[in-house]
Structure 1
Amino acid sequence: MTDEQLVLCAVQGDLNAFTDLVQRYERTLVNVVHAHVRNAKDAEDVIQETLIRVWKGIPQLREPQKFKSWLLQIAKNRCLDHFRKAAHLDQPVEDAHLAHLVNRHGQQFAIRHSRWDEIIAALAAVPTAERSAVQSFYLEGLTIKEIAARGDLPEGTVKRRLYAARHHLRESLERPHENKSGRKCDD
């Protein structure tokens, strides 16, 4: 079924149609939220808030064929709301809680999340136009043609921006090479 057909069924209260829509764009939704909200627990909350808003608002969706864009815009707005909350303050994690997380989820969880922070920091250092292209392409799942249409740009410009952003990210995230003796070197 198309997005439009699933939306029309969901408007009539078909929970399975709504579930199919959400599953269709789940990975993109998670990527977009995690790109904005670094804390995994907060990101889960934002995703839940997004899905509640989508469920409640789907009857007002005027262009059902644009469900994906509408869903992602709601997600971005929920991310902004998350940071606007006056009570929202970054709180340090106590050692005991951190040890619990590492023990509960294993060392790979901690390593994966530390790498995620490196990626977010590297992405933040990419110039705005290139960063926007990378986020649209990799996190939102848009095609080069869709990104070009959204920004009223030639496709070649989008390709150049993606290339420049990838190059910048590769340089930022590259780890020092190790020589045969095991010592790290900068080259």
Structure 2
Amino acid sequence: MDEEQLWIQQVLTGDKEAYTHIINKYKNQLYATVLRMTRNPQDAQDFVQDAFIKVYRNLDKYKADGPFASWLYRVAINHCMDAFRKKQYSTVQVEVDEEKVVNPNHPEIIFLKNEKSRQLERLVATLPDDERLIILLRYVNEMNYEEISEIMNVPLSTVRNKLHRAKKKMRETVKREGGYFHELSNGG
């Protein structure tokens, strides 16, 4: 039994302290993903907190037949998407000083420090929510198509099509506006 499964078992048997290990393992990655969905630091914090509460309350429903991370992301992303669908939430573009809201030593933050990364962030932000989420899960969180399909509860073919469509839109934007990502405009 790996460490993560041990924590889950401990939580399920009443050791609430073990849940802290799960939160610490996933909080930065989950926050970074949700922040990119909401584009608002406070809302991202609220959504992540709500997601961890939901996961805790439903931990007994997790079946160890798939990765725990996929299940956790699905709960968090479904929570965000439900809020979007209910029109309780609207995204507003804000400038975020990620060094102040996320661990500055996190690999994603280091990656985002240079201008090329900021341009890519702006490029991804222009995509519709579902396509942006697929790009983030695939390239930022390094998930495979099957994991994304499971998290988003859509067929594998939909993941592939939306990923292809998102990259095509990004290529068209780069062709139109120029910038660092000339390799995208050449079909890369």
One-letter amino acid of the structure 2 residue matched with residue 121 of structure 1 = A
**Contact 1:46–1:82 (Cα < 8 Å) also in 2:** no
Matched, 1:121 2:125: yes
- Find the structure with the greater CA-based Rg: 1
- The one-letter code matched in structure 2 to 1:70 is W
Percent identity of paired positions between Structure 1 and Structure 2: 23
Q: Which residues in structure 2 correspond to 1:75-94 (within 5 Å)?
A: 75-88=76-89
Q: What TM-score do you get using the length of structure 2 for normalisation? A: 0.56
- Which residue of structure 2 lines up, in the alignment, with residue 21 of structure 1? 22
Deviation at 1:16, TM superposition (A): 3.4
Once the 2 structures are TM-superposed, how far is the Cα of residue 151 of structure 1 from its aligned partner?
6.9
- The amino acid of 1:46's aligned partner reads F
| Corresponding residue for residue 171 of structure 2 | 168
Match status 1:74 vs 2:98 = no
Could you list the per-position Cα deviations for residues 80-128 of structure 1 after superposition, in whole angstroms to 9, with x for gaps in the alignment? 12223455467899xxxx9xx99xx7xxxxxx8xx58724434449x95
The one-letter code sitting in structure 2 at the alignment partner of 1:12 is T
How has the CA–CA distance of structure 1 residues 46 and 134 changed in structure 2, closer, same or farther, with 3 Å as cutoff? same
Between the two proteins, the alignment pairs up a number of residues equal to: 152
Q: Is 2:46 the counterpart of 1:42?
A: no
Q: CA deviation at 1:62?
A: 2.3
Query: What CA distance in whole angstroms lies between the structure 1 residues aligned with 2:178 and 2:12?
Result: 48
SS of the aligned residue for 1:13 comes to coil
Larger CA deviation: 73-82 vs 56-65: 56-65
- SS of residue matched to 2:143: coil
In structure 2, give the amino acid aligned to 1:2: E
Cα distance change on mapping 1:148 and 1:56 into 2, 3 Å: closer
Q: CA deviation at 1:64?
A: 6.9
Rate the CA distance shift 1:26–1:85 in 2: closer, same or farther, 3 A.
same
Q: Hey, what's the Cα distance between the residues in 2 that align with 1:41 and 1:27?
A: 14
Cα 1:132–1:29 shift into 2, 3 Å = closer
Question: CA-to-partner distance for each residue in 1:129-176, whole Å, 9 max, x for gaps?
Answer: xx66532223433258966999768xxx8xx96xx57x8399378658
- The aligned amino acid for 2:171 is H
Counterpart AA for 2:174: E
CA contact (8 A) 1:28 1:141 kept: no
Task: Give the 3 Å change call, closer, same or farther, for CA 169–67 of structure 1 in structure 2.
Answer: farther
Where structure 1 has 5 or more consecutive residues not aligned to the other structure, the ranges are 106-111, 177-187
Query: What is the aligned partner in structure 2 of residue 184 from structure 1?
Result: none
Q: Distance in 1 between matches of 2:147 and 2:71?
A: 15
- Call closer, same or farther: CA 1:19–1:138 in 2, change over 3 Å: farther
The aligned counterpart of 1:57 is: 58
Structure 2's unaligned 5+ residue stretches are: 101-112, 181-188
Contact 1:7 1:17 in 2 (8 A): yes
SS in 2 for 1:141: coil
